[in-house]
Structure 1
Amino acid sequence: MVVSLKNCCTVKPAEPTWNGPQPLSELDQVGTTTHVSTIYFYRPTQNWLSPPDTITNTLKESLSKALVPFYPIAGRLSWIGKGRLQINCNAEGVQFFEAESESKFEDFGDFSPCPEYEYLIPSVDYSVPIHEMPLLLVQLTKFKCGGISLSLLVSHVVVDGPSALHFFSEWARIARGEPLGTSPFHDRRVFRAGDPPRASPCIDHEGFIQPPLLLGKLDSLEERKKKTTVAMLKLTKTQVEKLKKMANEDQSSDLEHDYTRYETLAGHIWRCACKARKHGNEQPTALGVCVDSRRRMSTPLPIGYFGNATLDVIATCRAGDLMSKPLSYASSRIREAIKKVNDEFVNSGIDFLKNQPDLTQFQDIHSVGSTQGPFYGNPNLGVVSWLTIPIYGLDFGWGKEIYMGPGTHDFDGDSLVLPSHDGDGSLTVALCLQVAHMDDFKKHFYEDI
């Protein structure tokens, strides 16, 4: 696919904004510290296609207005030593790319992520100094058929999934001529950003430690280098319900409530990955779970909290136990990890990180060629849920998208669970695995249901 870049500009806040350094919480500075991409495809009505710059101007003008209340996104990061970062709120702006393609939507089939996506999503040059790197990059691509794609690449240091969707939805509201719905809450001191640790943590925070390695290996370097591939695996509502029934038929009698869709499906993915990777019975394996703490604190976070409020925890066990025991066992290990996340656990985790001499070892940046940070590839994986995030229905005035999905994710073990676009109860798993294991994974994924 040929995509021609027509213009690149910087969009700055429409009005003066607060200026100065903003401390980041420890939750902002661990885990994924690169940019995360999503992509939306639209088929605008004819009145939005003429004159040709209507959509472009609408996006730029509304983005400029949205950057006023959401001013940290227009700033830049800077290192402050010991592997720690802060945001310099300086209104330097975000990058906006305009591109055109001779392709048609029909060329994309079901819009599942494919190599062509790299032409529709702006790339970040991580070789430049971090204080020069935009925190948000946007690309609008116009297709021959009259359709458009809008790709959004945002720094995970600044926002997590709920905060990113908050910004995108408010930007869309402004584009439609509506007032701000929920103002962002910027004070990251709710997570004691910039403060010293209060005490030595009393909880074992194994979620921040290097996950298990393949038996017989001293590091993950060899696994990091292996070629990966991406698949979009769809499950009907009937298949999802069958999986839940399988998990809950085997549950213990003292279970508080049935296993959720996430606990069930994540457990199924975990088991299938062990089988596809042909792990031995004694192989330790971990599954990373991203838990939103917004409603798990003793005092829930303020509405509109803008930053990272998610905490990574891991479920661990032996591959042999996962593969030989019923699905309920995998789901129970996942639930056990999730249940730990409460006010005490979050604050203890923050203190644990504050006591670290350097946070680099907890920063997952291997996706850009680094060999440092935790590795959730073979024999581990991460399953992130988008089931409760309002990822669909982003309307800038010309109607809702016809498809929305993740952009590119090319590191082994990375997976997302998405609800269906039309709300019919089906689910999609966006999964990246090493090429050598993907076919076997697909086989087990469907045959084991």
Structure 2
Amino acid sequence: MNITIESSKLVKPTYNNGNAPSTNHHVRLSVFDKVTYNIHDGAAIHAFNPPTRSNSDIEKGLSKVLSEYREWAGRLGEDEEGNSIIFLNDQGVRFVEATSDCKLRNVLPSKPTKEIQSLYPSLDGVQELLQVQLTRFACGSLVVAITFHHQIADGQATGNFLAAWGLSTRDLPIDSIPPCTRSTLFQPRDPPLIQYDHHKIEYMNNIYSKDTTISNNESNEEEIVIQKVHFTNEFINKLRAKASTGVPKHFSRFEVILAHLWRVITKARGLDNHETTQIRISVNGRRRMDPKVPNEYFGNLVLWAFPRSKVKDLINRPLRYAAELIHDEVAKVNDMYFRSFIDFASSDIIKKEGLVSTAVMNKTILSPDLEVDSWLTFRYFDMDFGSGSPYYFMPTYYATEGMLFILPSGDGSIDAFVPLLNDSLDTFNMCCYLSTS
């Protein structure tokens, strides 16, 4: 893919009537910000059919929306007490303009590959918390790709921001102003009440975080292929009916698709029957906490559920077994669990025991385990700069075996992006579309 960088600049917030706030303020990271992945990487690419708004219009829209999402234009650091903070200094986000002499349909792959990395701004020595690259193709199509620091926002918050950026570019009012509650909303109880063991769930001893039994090397990466699988509404309904027989309430679309993929991937891996396999599932706390946290909350509010099973049980028992495991473990991550985590993460236990987050990416191969990010409810398709929603949307290239992404694909259908080792592909492809698997 031949990409030429035309310009690279910083875009800073623009405030109405010139009423700019102080740039000497900062906000502390919440306990949820600090426990998530401390990395900066690519998020997704959005492809738009022509005609599209000019780069200048999109840049102006970005500048305006940053006045409501100031954290993106800030920088990470520490205060005098050593607390992790975001300096609200309005230093700006990176805005890259690029072109290609190709037609997009001739070069855009149907699934993430190394080639799409050229559509993203470089991550070398990046200080900005958000980066944007606009790539114009010979056919008039536009690709917008972003990179961001995960400690600033989770998927829900990022989707809200992208939708607001579209509204701002169209000179429309933002429909969901994010409340400025990051550093005040999640206070520990007095006295604290730690009702669950958060060791080896959200936190681990620092010595385990350095475990690189399977190193992130080039040879492993070359053996990994990302499969894109499309599940039609009809197929999903068959799975739901099959898994939900005898159950008072049908399992959700997400639960049955993930249960199905868990079983198929486990078969394809050829794991020993007595091994244990688990899934790390991101759980959004906004609707689970009491009182509920507004969907507009900007920051991170995610913990994880970990359904586990012996391989022999997962494969030999009905689909309902896997769906129930997923449903029950996610249900346990409720208000009590979130409150217990806040009390634990706010205590001196973290420093005293030298604990660090379990949210690390230090392996190329997750087998026998999986990790899944579901974007089924996020507003990524609401990013409309004036010519409609993106006609194509795809996650970035993660060469990590077992790291799944599940996305909506229109008409109730679902796309899943599944990184696998080459020697697992034949079995996976043979079983993936069998509703009886």
Shorter chain as normaliser: what TM range?
Answer: 0.7 to 0.9
Q: 1:97/1:347 Cα in 2 relative to 1: closer, same or farther (>3 Å)?
A: same
In structure 2, the residue matched to 1:417 is 406
Which of 150, 157, 160 aligns to 2:151? It is 157
> Measured at CA, do residues 388 and 221 of structure 1 come closer, stay the same or move farther in structure 2, by a change above 3 Å?
same
CA distance in 2, matches of 1:436, 1:82: 51
- Matches of 1:341 and 1:360 in 2, distance apart? 21
Tell me the distance in 2 between the aligned counterparts of 1:41 and 1:78.
Answer: 34
CA distance in 2, matches of 1:191, 1:322: 40
Task: Give the AA of the match of 1:27.
Answer: F
Give distance in 2, aligned partners of 1:164 and 1:121. 16
2-side partners of 1:418 and 1:442: how far apart? 19
Structure 2: tracts of 5 or more residues without a match:
205-209
Q: What is the match of residue 357 of structure 2? A: 362
Instruction: Tell me if structure 2 keeps the 8 A contact 1:158–1:307.
Output: yes
Taking the TM superposition and a 5 Å limit, the aligned residue runs for 1:1-400 are 1-15=1-15, 16-19=20-23, 20-34=25-39, 35-45=41-51, 48=52, 55-78=54-77, 85-108=84-107, 111-125=110-124, 128=125, 133-189=127-183, 191-192=185-186, 199=192, 201-205=194-198, 207-208=201-202, 221-222=213-214, 224-225=216-217, 226-227=220-221, 228-249=224-245, 251=246, 255-354=247-346, 355-357=349-351, 361-366=356-361, 370=362, 377-400=366-389
8 Å contact kept, 2:279–2:371: yes
| DSSP 3-state at the match of 2:427 | helix
Offset at residue 198 of structure 1 (A): 5.0
Render the CA deviation track for 1:160-209: whole Å, top value 9, x for unaligned. 1111111111111010011121111121245436x699535221335325
1:215 alignment counterpart:
none
CA contact (8 A) 2:164 2:175 kept: yes
Question: Separation in 1 of the partners of 2:328 and 2:166?
Answer: 38
Q: How far apart in 2 are the matches of 1:349 and 1:309?
A: 11
Cα distance in 2, alignment partners of residues 271 and 83 from structure 1: 45
Question: Aligned pair 1:444/2:431, yes or no?
Answer: yes
Name the CA shift for 1:360/1:120 in 2 (closer, same or farther; >3 Å). farther
What CA distance in whole angstroms lies between the structure 2 residues aligned with 1:407 and 1:169? 19
Give SS of 1:356's match: helix
Residue deviations 1:394-433, cap 9 Å, x none?
A: 211133221112122222211111111xx32221101223
Structure-1 separation of matches of 2:21 and 2:43: 26
CA contact (8 A) 1:263 1:334 kept: yes
Instruction: For residue 333 of structure 1, give the secondary structure of its aligned residue in structure 2.
Output: helix
Cα distance in 1, alignment partners of residues 301 and 354 from structure 2: 17
Say if 1:17 and 1:71, in contact at 8 Å, map to a contact too.
no
Give, in angstroms, the shift of residue 18 of structure 1. Answer: 4.5
State the Cα RMSD in Å: 2.6
Provide the TM-score with structure 1 as the length reference: 0.86
Contact 1:316 1:333 in 2 (8 A): yes
Instruction: Identify if the C-alpha distance between structure 1 residues 12 and 109 changes in structure 2 by more than 3 Å, giving closer, same or farther.
Output: closer
Three-state SS of the structure 1 residue aligned to 2:143 is strand
**TM-score, scaled relative to structure 2:** 0.88
* 8 Å CA contact retained: 2:244, 2:250: yes
- Structure-2 change in CA distance of 1:207 and 1:381 (3 Å): same
User: Which amino acid is the alignment partner of residue 247 of structure 1?
Assistant: A
1:416–1:197 Cα change, 3 Å? farther
Note closer, same or farther for the CA distance 1:81–1:266 as it changes in structure 2 (3 Å cut): farther
Following superposition, the deviation at residue 360 of structure 1 comes to 6.8
> Structure 1 residues 434-443 or 265-274, which shifts more?
434-443
Aligned residues: 417
- Give the secondary-structure state (helix, strand or coil) at the position aligned to 2:306: strand
- Distance (Å, rounded) in 1 between the aligned partners of 2:274 and 2:190: 38
